[in-house]
Amino acid sequence: MGAPPEISADPVLIIACGALAREILALTEANGLSHVSLQCLPAELHNRPERIATAVQDAIREARPHYQHIVVGYADCGTGGALDRVLAEENIARIAGPHCYAFYSGLKDFADTEESDLGTFYLTDFLARHFDTLVYKSLGLDRHPELREQYFKHYSRLVYLAQSDDEDLLAEARRAAEKLHLNFELRRTGYGDLQKFVAAL
């Protein structure tokens, strides 16, 4: 899929994962992209990736009468290629990569460390901010902490891919590692390839 085609300053719609809302809005503002609008789908779809492709296609078809230019702010995100099949049918580009951890890290850097990162659980700013709701409680660990060993027995560390220098989020990420009994590592990635994707609009 890769970077979107070069687009004039005509109105552009980004249909994106809700987990990227804050970052995309910051990037559009920083780049002066007043012609770019953002529509986010619920971040909770990541817990049901089989629903992402259909939800994105529905959003594209609903937006088409209003936008000549539409791009998608999703990686494959566990859809097993279903999202790419929908986007090929709709002739829509998306940000390249298997998931946000890869494009935040930069696809090359992520590929270079993928083997050594086996057994790693990743957090982004969004996941650090919403860890208790989207991870800990959704897995039932607040009610059944004994399930931690079942879910995370193959993990040895938590890597926080930080988009910002927010000390409160850093503390939340450290607490998440403690709750999961994982070693903690910080990597300050910034926006990674998402910055290039948005700036190209």
| 46-81 pLDDT tens trace | 889 999 999 999 999 999 999 999 999 999 999 999
**Cβ–Cβ < 8 Å for 37, 12:** yes
For residues 36 and 89, state if they share a domain.
yes
Report pLDDT for 119: 93
Mean residue pLDDT of the chain comes to 94
Report pLDDT for 1: 57
141 lies in some domain: yes
5 lies in some domain: no
Domain assignment of residue 145, given as a range: 106-188
For residues 89 and 128, state if they share a domain.
no
Checking if the pLDDT of 168 tops 80, the result is yes
130 lies in some domain: yes
Q: CA 183, CA 131: separation in Å to the nearest integer?
A: 16
For residues 89 and 125, state if they share a domain.
no
47 lies in some domain: yes
Checking if the pLDDT of 170 tops 90, the result is yes
For residues 183 and 195, state if they share a domain.
no
Confidence band of 113 (pLDDT split at 50, 70, 90): confident
For residues 112 and 93, state if they share a domain.
no
Confidence band of 122 (pLDDT split at 50, 70, 90): very high
Confidence band of 25 (pLDDT split at 50, 70, 90): very high
Checking if the pLDDT of 167 tops 60, the result is yes
For residues 53 and 117, state if they share a domain.
no
> What pTM value is reported for the model?
0.89
182 lies in some domain: yes
For residues 111 and 156, state if they share a domain.
yes
For residues 66 and 28, state if they share a domain.
yes
3 lies in some domain: no
Q: What is the CB-side half-sphere exposure of residue 99 using CA atoms within 13 A?
A: 14
For residues 61 and 117, state if they share a domain.
no
**Percent of residues, the chain, with pLDDT higher than 70:** 96
What is the mean predicted confidence (pLDDT) over 140-158?
94
E strand intervals along the chain: 12-17, 36-41, 69-73, 93-94, 120-123, 157-162, 183-188
6 lies in some domain: no
Q: How many domains does the chain have?
A: 2
For residues 137 and 75, state if they share a domain.
no
For residues 49 and 90, state if they share a domain.
yes
Checking if the pLDDT of 8 tops 60, the result is no
Q: CA 108, CA 116: separation in Å to the nearest integer?
A: 14
Report pLDDT for 4: 57
> Which long-range contacts link 55-64 to residues 24+ away (Cβ below 8 Å)?
56/15, 56/83, 56/86, 56/87, 57/86, 57/89, 57/90, 59/15, 60/15, 60/86, 60/90, 60/92, 61/90, 63/13, 63/15, 63/39
2 lies in some domain: no
For residues 149 and 93, state if they share a domain.
no
